[in-house]
Structure 1
Amino acid sequence: MDLVQQIIERAKSNKQRIVLPEATEERTLRAADRVLAEGIADLILIGNPDEIHRLAAEWGLDNIDKATIIDPENNPKSEEYAELLAELRKKKGMTIEKARELVKNPLYLGCMIIKTEGADGQISGALSTTGDTLRPALQIIKCAPGISCVSGAMLLITKQPQYGENGVLVVGDVAVTPMPDAGQLAQIAVCTAQTAKSVAGLEDPRVAMLSFSTKGSASHEVVDKVVEATRLAKELAPELKIDGELQADAALVPAVGEKKAPGSDIAGHANVLVFPNLEVGNIGYKLVQRLGDAVAIGPILQGIARPVNDLSRGCSVEDIYYLVAITACQAMDAKK
C-alpha cells in the first residue's frame, strides 16, 4: 500500500469532521462527493443549501446529502458565534456589530465551528488567498501550545527508496515564514517532525537541520542560526531525534554522513529535512519534484492548534480529496 492510500485508510479508520467553507465551488463540491462516497470524513459544507443541492444535481453528485450544510446567512448559532468572536478579539477593538458580519464569512464561520468543538479541521483556498485562509485561523483557533510560528510541510514521495523512509521525505518550511530566526526554525523542526508522524505515518522521525555546512565545515552567521535552532529544538522536544547543521548529502547518504558527521545518529539516515529559510525550502522541493520526478503533496500547514489547510487556487478535485484525508489525520493527532 502506497503512502497516499495509507493516509486515506487512516482517515477512514477514525472519521473526523472537516469543514469546507467554499462548498459552492465546483472542484470542492466534486471532491466532497467523493469523500462522502468513500467514508473518509464527515463533512460540513458552508453555503446556501438550495444552491449546493442545485449544483450537486446539475453535476450528478449523489452523496452531498450525507454532509451537514450550514447556511452562513441563516445560521441559528450566528449570535452565539458573534458574541464569542467579539470576546476573543475585544483587545483588538472587535465590536459585536463587526463580529456579526464576520461570522457570515464562510472562512470565519468554519473557524468558529472548530473553536466551539463542532468540527475538527478546515480546508479552503480554491477561491481564497493564503492570507484569507490563515487570518481567521490565527485570530480564532490560534497556534498550538508552545508554538508561535506557522509553517508549511511537504510530503515528497521519491523514486529513490534508499533515501528517507523508503523514498518518503517530509520537508519544511516550504510555504509560510520567509526568514525564520533560530527560535522559529526550532519550532518548524518540531512541527515538521510531528507532521511526519501524524500524516506520513513515520513512527521514527529523524530530523536533519540543513545548511551549506556540516558540523563546522563553514563559518557564517546563517550556519550559527541553524546550530542554535537545533539546540532550541532539543529543548522544545527532548525526545526528538535531531541533528544539525548538516549538508543535504550528509543528511541523506550514509557513506557521506559517516565521513562528514561521524558519530551522528541522524547523518545519512534523515527522513525529515528542515530548510534554513523559505527561499531554500520552496526552491528545493520544486527541484526534487520536477527534476527527480517526485510526487509532492502539500503544503500542509502546521503550528495551528487545530488543522486549517490551504489549497492552491489552481488545485484539482484530487488535491482537495487528498487534503481532506491529510487534515483528518492531523485532526486525530491534535486530539491526543
Structure 2
Amino acid sequence: MRGSNQTSISEFFLLGLSRQPQQQQLLFLIFLIMYLATVLGNLLIILAISTDSRLHSPMYFFLSNLSFVDVCFSSTTVPKVLADHVLGSQAISVSECLMQIYFLCVFAVMDNFLLAVMAYDRYVAICHPLHYTTKMTQQLCVLMVAGSWVTASLNALLHTLLMARLSFCGDNIIPQFFCEITPLLKLSCSDTHLNELMILYVAGLIMIAPFVCILVSYMLIACAVLRVSSARGRWKAFSTCGSHLAMVCLFYGTIISLYFSPSSSHSAARNTASAVMYTVVTPMLNPFIYSLRNRDLKGALRKVIHGRCFAVQ
C-alpha cells in the first residue's frame, strides 16, 4: 500500500555514468569508440565465418551466433547512452524501459546459453573426436541455438510482463545508465514478491544450469587431456579451449561480481563499473579474444579485410 496516494509516473531518469561535465565528454568518446569496435569486430567475425568454407563447422557456427548476440547486446544500451549525451536528456519512458529490459534479458541469457553450448562442443571434440561429426550434426547445432532463442525469449517475456503489472510512484531515478530489473523493483510501490520469486527461481535456474554445464564439460575435458601421454598433445588440446575459457571467465566474472557478491560491498560506482564490463567491454573483447589465438580465423579475417580493401581500390 506504500505510495498508494501518489501519482503514477510515466518516465524514469537514468543517472548515467558520471555527473561531472568533463568526465561526460571523455566517457562519451570512450563509449563511442568501444561501440564502434564492438560492431565492427563482431561483424567481421560473422562475415569471415560465412565466407570461408573451412570455418563452416559447429564451433564457428556457435561463434558467429555469439558475435551476433554481442552486437545486439551492446546495441541495447550504448546507443541510448550516446543519444542521451548528445540530446542532454536522461529520461526514458516506462514503455522504453520495459523494452530495454526485455532485450537485455534475451541477449544476456543467449550469451549464457551459447557459452554452454560451445563448452559442450569442445567436450565432444576433445573427449569423443572420432564421433564428433556424427554427434555434432548440423540439425543438432541448429536445434540447440533455436532452443536457446526460444527459452531466452520466453524468460525475458515473463520478467517483462511481471514488471509491466507494477505501479511506480514517487522516486523515479534509476542509479544506472540503463534500465535494470533490480533497481526498478526498489522504485515500485506495488507488491514485488512474485517478481522476486521468479528472478530467484526461473532466472537463477537459467543462469546457473548453463554455468554448471560449462564446469562439468571442462572437468571432463581436463580429465581426458591429462590422460594424453605427450606434452605437445596436451598443450594442443588445452589451446583449443583457451579462447572460450577466457570468454567464460570474463562473462561470469562480471556477473558474479555484480549480482552474487555481498550487497554490503556494493557501491554505485562499483555497480556501474560491473555493468559496463558485461554490457559493453565483454561484447567488444570477445571477437579479439577468439581471433588472437585462432590461426584459421585470423586467415579468414585477413582475406575479408584485404578483399574489401581491393574492392574499394
Query: Shorter-chain TM-score: which interval?
Result: under 0.3
Higher strand share: 1
Higher helix share: 2
Q: Which has the higher contact order (CA 8 A, sep 6+)?
A: 2
- Give me the TM-score of the superposition, normalised by structure 2: 0.28
- Give me the TM-score of the superposition, normalised by structure 1: 0.26
